[in-house]
Amino acid sequence: MKKILIAEDNAVNRELLRELLEMHGHTVMEAINGEEALRIVEESKPDILLLDMGMPVLDGYGTIRKIRENARFAALPVLAVTAYAMQGDKERILSCGFDGYLSKPINPTLLFQELERLLSRAERGTGPEDRAQAATEGK
Ligand code: MN
């Protein structure tokens, strides 16, 4: 089972995600903004990060930029979780270095499909190339 970090400012959304992930046996850590998420990434080395886009202090865009700038975390799988549902937003999000995209409200089937895809890819040791590919394919 995996160590999953949820960065999300809304307590209800955090709780919902936590319950879903713990039901599947994952260990869950929580951050309420991007700055806290960066600290936990550094200290606790999660296997995957679920990153809300709209957060105070440091939002999803600022957080992914800092993560991808750091060579040690360049391969960390990061899934955007957001209410921004416009087509242009999805493309913008994927072009920023996210590995995937989930819109709110979270569909549990899609959530676990994406986790499976990203975690199996991480185990094969691939990353940035797949990320560029997924962005091109609009996944
Ligand atoms: Mn938010």
> Which domains can be identified in the chain, with CATH numbers?
3-137 (3.40.50.2300)
Q: Which residue has the tokens 């991808």?
A: 68
- Is the pLDDT confidence value at 100 over 70? yes
pLDDT tens by residue, 13-65:
999 999 999 999 999 999 999 999 999 999 999 999 999 999 999 999 999 99
Structure-block tokens of residue 70: 């750091």
- Is the pLDDT confidence value at 126 over 70? no
- pLDDT, residue 50, reads 98
Whole-number Å distance, alpha carbon 8 to ligand 1 midpoint, is 6
pLDDT over 70, % of the chain = 88
Please state, in angstroms and rounded to a whole number, the distance separating the CA atoms of residues 139 and 82. Answer: 15
Whole-number Å distance, alpha carbon 30 to ligand 1 midpoint, is 13
Q: Quick check: 79 and 46 in contact, CB under 8 A?
A: no
Whole-number Å distance, alpha carbon 90 to ligand 1 midpoint, is 16
- Cβ < 5 A residues, ion ligand 1: 9, 52, 54
Q: How far is CA 7 from CA 18, 29, 52, 80, 129, in A?
A: 11, 9, 6, 10, 25
**One-letter amino acid of 3:** K
- pLDDT, residue 67, reads 96
Structure-block tokens of residue 26: 């994952």
Whole-number Å distance, alpha carbon 119 to ligand 1 midpoint, is 24
- Is the pLDDT confidence value at 138 over 60? no
Burial-class residue 10 by CB neighbours within 10 Å (0-12, 13-18, 19+): middle
Whole-number Å distance, alpha carbon 32 to ligand 1 midpoint, is 9
Region 95-110 average pLDDT:
93
Whole-number Å distance, alpha carbon 11 to ligand 1 midpoint, is 9
Please state, in angstroms and rounded to a whole number, the distance separating the CA atoms of residues 123 and 109. Answer: 21
Please state, in angstroms and rounded to a whole number, the distance separating the CA atoms of residues 128 and 35. Answer: 23
Structure-block tokens of residue 77: 């799988």
Region 64-85 average pLDDT:
91
Whole-number Å distance, alpha carbon 39 to ligand 1 midpoint, is 18
